Amino acid sequence: MVDNGPDFGPGEIRSYLKVTGWAPVSGGDVAELWSLPGPADEVVLVPMKPGAPDFAKRTRILLQDLARVESEEVQTVHDAIATVYHDVTDLRASHPSLSDGSIPLESGYELFVSAKRLRVASAAATIRRQGHFRNFPTRARDQAREVRLGQTRRGSYIVPIISQARSQEDVYSPRQDHIDVQVEETLFDRRVTATMSRALGVLEDMAGAEREPTRSEINDSIGEGVSYELCQALTRVVNTESVSAIDVSFNWSRVAAPPPGTPARVEFNGDAINIVDRVSEQLKTKVYTSEHVIYGVVTDLSRHPEDDTGRVGVQTLIQRRSRTVWMNLADGDYHTAVRCHDAGIPVRVRGTLTSPPGGQARMNVAGFGPDPSLGADD
């Protein structure tokens, strides 16, 4: 991969250098010089013309310099730069017999298929909170086609799922008056990964408790993204003959803040899967309870001083088209909307959505606040 040319451009290089402490000192359209403050006084040259005949050669020299400074393998630095705008979710299947880095074909098949099932279930829960989907939203199935699989790794058996964390463009500015469709499409990937992390964290907590989860706790877990399909994706892997446990670790992009309150790693062994099985059986009966979730920016605010509530418009994507959803918010949520609008913070809204074709979209709100998947404040 490195010999054939880099899988990234100057944008990824510059972002990687920024988050690892380097700073530009001079340069122009063809190349830039970056320095790393410290006793060694390191300086590297960054090629800025991807179409230039010597771009690959200059990039290889840069990778060698960075690998020397960071005491890492060249390939490791290359991969870190190539995924600087991505979240990488590692699915690891464990069993004593997997010590040689290989895996039985049937177990490997279930691991790869479950990677897709986890993404689809998490994408569906990012759009709607529902205990049992049966039919996934089209957007959820499409999202699973957009993520990528990295090279498998040794260490039990690891399948990396690579998804977008953010675009190269700034997300949003204070008093943003419209959404950017391309940015929102990219942010959906991050929101799905955040939903998966939070949902698996809740499942792990229930499976690791000293008592079995109550019916109320299981119902509440739907609000965090847990569903029958998510549970089944885990049990299918661990119930194969050569897998005794599966763990999932989340390696968040270095240029996008990790979602607050999400675990970095979760693990499910055979005992935990027995609890997950019982959770999934209860969720299987929850097909008719659902709650829509929209993400976007506050674009309209209206409230008279004597009113108890304020009218708010949130521009979002519905079926991949830009729409403004109108809602009435009580005092506390209205002030949150004003703050998010003034600071350019995207919001997440849960509730009952009505969006007739050609008519005004409205939502009866159950929850309103900054979008937690982007690391926004509370």
Give pLDDT, residue 169. Answer: 60
Give pLDDT, residue 378. Answer: 45
List the chain domain ranges.
10-83, 86-285, 290-370
Q: Look up tokens 């029958």; give the residue.
A: 228
For Cα atoms 368, 262, 88, give the angle at the middle one, nearest 5 degrees.
Answer: 115
Q: What is the CATH number of domain 290-370?
A: 2.40.50.140
Q: Averaged in consecutive runs of 10 residues, what is the pLDDT profile of the chain (378 residues)?
A: 71 93 91 88 93 93 95 92 93 80 85 94 95 90 89 84 79 85 88 96 94 93 95 91 90 90 94 94 78 95 93 94 96 97 94 91 96 71
Smallest Cα–Cα separation from 287: which of 138, 137, 122, 135? 135
Determine the residue type at 314: V
First and final CA of the chain: distance in angstroms? Answer: 42
| CA–CA distance, 335 with 330 (Å, rounded to integer) | 9
On whether the CB atoms of residues 148 and 162 are closer than 8 A, the answer is yes
On whether the CB atoms of residues 125 and 72 are closer than 8 A, the answer is no
Determine the residue type at 103: I
Q: HEC states along the chain?
A: CCCCCCCCCHHHHHHHHHHCCCEEEEECCCEEEEEECCCCCEEEEEECCCCCCCHHHHHHHHHHHHHHHHCCCHHHHHHHHHCCCEEEEEEEEECHHHCCCCCCHHHHHHHHHHHHHHHHHHHHHHHEEECCCCCCCHHHHHHHHHCEECCCEECCEEEEEEEECCCCCCCCCCCCCCCCHHHHHHHHHHHHHHHHHHHHHHHHHHHHCCCCCCHHHHHHHHHHCCCHHHHHHHHHHHCCCCCCEEEEEEECCCCCCCCCCCCCEEEEEHHHHHHHHHHHHHHCCCCCCEEEEEEEEEEEEECCCCCCEEEEEEEEEECCEEEEEEEEEEHHHHHHHHHHHHHCCCEEEEEEEECCCCCCEEEEEEEEEECHHHCCCC
Look up residue 41 and give its two tokens: 């006084």
Instruction: Decide the pairing of beta strands 245-251 and 265-269.
Output: antiparallel
Q: Cα torsion for 110, 116, 122, 127, to the nearest 10°?
A: -140
Strand partners for 364: 352
